[in-house]
């Protein structure tokens, strides 16, 4: 995709996304977060507007493969203050299926997401493994034409509203292989299968989409739901986790821009000494610096999208985009909270309510320290420290 084509796509997506925000705006998003509710009507609006087809090839019912479209949509909706986390999960799970799934899997798992009939969650994190996914204990043993899946995952976002969960599990135990990268597999698990259980976690992100413990107790998964090659799941994961970083970067940039605009609007009007506090350099400069950093992160993000869509290795740019985007968003939110002063902590102002989600993105889906390790080891060729 040329730079001009990428820019045109981003403009078109941003314009179309206004139809989703008309259905669920920021105030309604926060109300549902407080009182309970889903984003099902927003999901239907995305389907009706053709936005769910972004990133899915025309042969599978979409409007064209590539990560740029889904990233642009995630940025636009986040900038409006209504980030749809389950869409992010579905979008990067679909990328792995497109690149590693069979024709039958593409038919089963891609076309229904374009029409809005299927949503996909993602499960990799475990309590005792954390960022060391190779240490996971969830195990899928082959039994005839099924895998029998046992284990527990946590921080599984929007699992209650998903139809399928893309689960990463061991099919060869760590102790039985010399290479820690061998033995992981990716399975599509029907959420309604016997043995699948969910327990809500008390994670307060001021979002309608909740987080869960996922319990897997002798869950029978058909062999045809294996995405990619058994024991070679790392290859499949690379084509899910790089898009995940890009979509999370868009989430951070969009939400950071939302916070920044709220701050700019406020300091233009707030005048306790007779002139707007936005005229004070002590107020201006943190906001201006945040704007510059968000803009720089956005350039890195779409450069990474271009690399991915051109079939190049996006790892370096994807990781750096996530680092820059999450830190820029945090700086923007902090500057805005400081500009609002005490009123930022009034929940009705909906400023402090932005902070938990923005702050989370320095930690999830992978913490920035691990990204710095990646940059140190893979780009700077420095020795590994862990």
Domain that holds residue 283: 235-379
Note the pLDDT of residue 385. 86
Tell whether 46 is covered by a domain.
Answer: yes
pLDDT class for 4, splitting at 50, 70, 90? confident
Assess whether 256 and 364 both reside in one domain.
yes
- The tens digit of pLDDT for each residue in 225-268 reads 999 999 999 999 989 999 999 999 999 999 999 999 999 999 99
Note the pLDDT of residue 269. 97
Contact between residue 23 and residue 51 where contact means Cβ atoms under 8 Å apart: no
Instruction: DSSP for 252-298, please give it.
Output: HHHHHHHHHHHHHHHHHH--TTSS-GGGSHHHHHHHHHHHHHHHHHH
Q: 122 forms bridges with which residues in the sheet? A: 166
Tell whether 261 is covered by a domain.
Answer: yes
* pLDDT average, residue stretch 372-378: 96
Question: What is the model's pTM?
Answer: 0.96
Among 162, 196, 229, the domain-final residue is 229
Assess whether 365 and 257 both reside in one domain.
yes
Assess whether 221 and 91 both reside in one domain.
no
**CATH number of 145's domain:** 2.40.110.10
Q: 72 to each of 13, 55, 87, how far by Cα in Å?
A: 6, 11, 12
Show the tokens assigned to 321.
């985009």
Q: Is the pLDDT of residue 1 over 90?
A: no
Contact between residue 247 and residue 75 where contact means Cβ atoms under 8 Å apart: no
Q: To the nearest whole number, what is the mean pLDDT of the chain?
A: 96
Domains in the chain, number? 3
- The tens digit of pLDDT for each residue in 307-363 reads 999 999 999 999 999 999 999 999 999 999 999 999 999 999 999 999 999 999 999
Percent of the chain with pLDDT over 70: 100
Tell whether 384 is covered by a domain.
Answer: no
Rounded distance between C-alpha atoms, residue 227 and residue 347, angstroms:
44
Assess whether 139 and 260 both reside in one domain.
no
Assess whether 109 and 35 both reside in one domain.
yes
Assess whether 306 and 193 both reside in one domain.
no
Tell whether 386 is covered by a domain.
Answer: no
Assess whether 170 and 186 both reside in one domain.
yes
Assess whether 240 and 371 both reside in one domain.
yes
**CATH number of 114's domain:** 1.10.540.10
Tell whether 104 is covered by a domain.
Answer: yes
Among 119, 151, 178, the domain-final residue is 119
Show the tokens assigned to 258.
């939302």
Assess whether 241 and 324 both reside in one domain.
yes
């Amino acid at each position: 995709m040329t730079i001009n084509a990428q820019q045109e796509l981003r403009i078109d997506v941003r314009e179309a996304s206004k139809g989703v925000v008309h259905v669920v705006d920021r105030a309604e998003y926060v109300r549902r977060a407080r009182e309970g509710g889903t984003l099902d009507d927003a999901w239907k609006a995305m389907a009706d507007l053709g936005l769910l087809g972004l990133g899915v090839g025309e042969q599978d019912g979409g409007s064209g493969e590539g990560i740029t479209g889904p990233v642009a949509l995630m940025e636009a909706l986040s900038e409006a203050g209504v980030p749809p986390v389950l869409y992010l999960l579905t979008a990067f799970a679909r990328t792995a299926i497109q690149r590693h799934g069979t024709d039958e899997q593409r038919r089963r798992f891609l076309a229904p997401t374009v029409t809005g009939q299927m949503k996909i969650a993602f499960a990799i994190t475990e309590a005792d493994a954390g960022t060391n996914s190779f240490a996971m204990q969830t195990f899928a043993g082959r039994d005839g034409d099924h895998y029998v899946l046992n284990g527990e995952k946590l921080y599984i976002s929007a699992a209650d509203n998903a139809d399928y969960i893309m689960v990463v599990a061991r099919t060869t135990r760590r102790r039985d292989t010399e290479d820690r990268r061998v033995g992981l597999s990716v399975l599509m698990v029907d959420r309604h299968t016997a043995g699948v259980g969910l327990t809500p976690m008390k994670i307060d992100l001021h979002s309608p989409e909740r987080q869960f413990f996922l319990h897997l107790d002798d869950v029978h998964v058909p062999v045809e739901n294996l995405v990619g090659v058994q024991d070679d799941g790392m290859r499949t994961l690379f084509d899910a986790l790089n898009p995940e970083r890009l979509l999370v970067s868009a989430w951070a940039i969009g939400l950071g821009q939302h916070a920044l605009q709220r701050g700019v609007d406020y300091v233009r009007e707030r005048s306790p000494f007779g002139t707007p506090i936005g005229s004070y350099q002590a107020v201006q400069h943190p906001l201006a610096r945040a704007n510059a950093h968000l803009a720089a992160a956005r350039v890195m993000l779409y450069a990474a999208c271009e690399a991915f869509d051109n079939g190049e290795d996006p790892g370096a740019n994807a990781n750096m985009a996530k680092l820059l985007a999450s830190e820029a968003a945090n700086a923007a939110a902090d500057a805005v909270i400081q500009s609002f002063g005490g009123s930022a902590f009034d929940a009705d102002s909906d400023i402090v309510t932005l902070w938990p989600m923005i702050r989370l993105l320095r930690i999830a889906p992978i913490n920035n320290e691990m990204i710095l390790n990646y940059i140190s080891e893979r780009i700077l060729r420095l020795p590994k420290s862990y």
